[in-house]
Amino acid sequence: MPSACCAAVATVLLVDDDAMYRRALAAFLDASYDLDVVGDTGDGIEAMTLAERLRPDAVVIDLAMPGTNGFDVAEKILAALPGTAVILVTGSPGGHERERARLLGAQLLEKGDPLPVENALRTLTRKTPPV
């Protein structure tokens, strides 16, 4: 959980069917002073309900999930909550996926190392660490 320091906190929703990845990413992000994971789900449909209820600053979405895909979830969230930062993650991002993410107004990152996700969240939500 972020400290009550003077920095603004960006709220984050995690959407990934891999519960272990979600837990690890949530723990990593919650250790930051300026990022607060306010919800998580492994289901794209539930992601919409959570996003509308929680109104996070940013959503991190797995590109490949059973029953739906990250592009569809991102499109619905962005339509319902314009201005929400969206980061799509996948095991091996290709050019087509990067272009589609760009056209949606989302960023596509390789799934794995949480640091690029953390950095992208700060950039997209305009949250930067103190100097």
Domains (ranges, CATH) in the chain? 10-90+103-124 (3.40.50.2300)
Query: How does residue 30 score in pLDDT terms, banded at 50, 70 and 90?
Result: very high
- pLDDT > 90? residue 77: yes
**CB under 8 Å, gap of 24 or more: what pairs does 48-52 form?**
48/73, 48/76, 48/77, 48/80, 50/13, 51/13, 51/77, 51/80, 51/81, 51/84, 52/80, 52/81
To the nearest whole number, what is the mean pLDDT of the chain? 89
pLDDT of residue 130: 52
The answer, as to whether pTM is greater than 0.85, is: yes
